[in-house]
Homo-oligomer: A and B are copies of this chain.
Amino acid sequence: MTKNTKFRTPDCGLTKVQQMLGGKWKLLLLWYLSEETRRFGEIRRCFPEITEAMLTKQLRELEQDKLIHREVFKVVPPRVEYSLTDLGSKFFPIIEAMYDWGEENLKN
């Protein structure tokens, strides 16, 4: 017998994670938001390579997956803040582990 027969269910945790974080920028965005709450404009300036449309899309997907929280302040000019949810925070150590592994093992 093998150890990990559990892993082959169609909705196994790993499959879901892969789907949730498949977006090209999601890990980076989560990492950035883990530092502190950020306004939309801050995020945009920090990631100039992402177009606004794409940035909005990825943020909304992260919100739907309950990894980040989006708060709209009804003021003029508008103000929108993004922050990690508890769920997102719980995932953060994994992101750090991936970063560390990458830094340690993928030098060039």
Contact: B13 with A100, CB < 8 Å? yes
Cα–Cα distance between A105 and B93 once the two chains are bound (Å) = 15
Choice from B94, B102, B105 contacting A98 with Cβ under 8 Å: B94
A51 at the interface (CB under 8 A from B): no
With the chains together, A69 CA to B16 CA distance in Å?
26
Is B35 in contact with A14, judged by CB distance below 8 angstroms? no
Docked Cα-Cα span, A46 to B7, in Å, equals 11
Q: Is the CB of B13 within 8 A of A99?
A: yes
* A36-B97 in contact given A12-B102, A28-B14, A102-B14 (Cβ < 8 Å): no
Q: How far is the CA of A18 from the CA of B90 in the complex (A)?
A: 19
Q: How far is the CB of A16 from chain B (nearest CB, A)?
A: 5
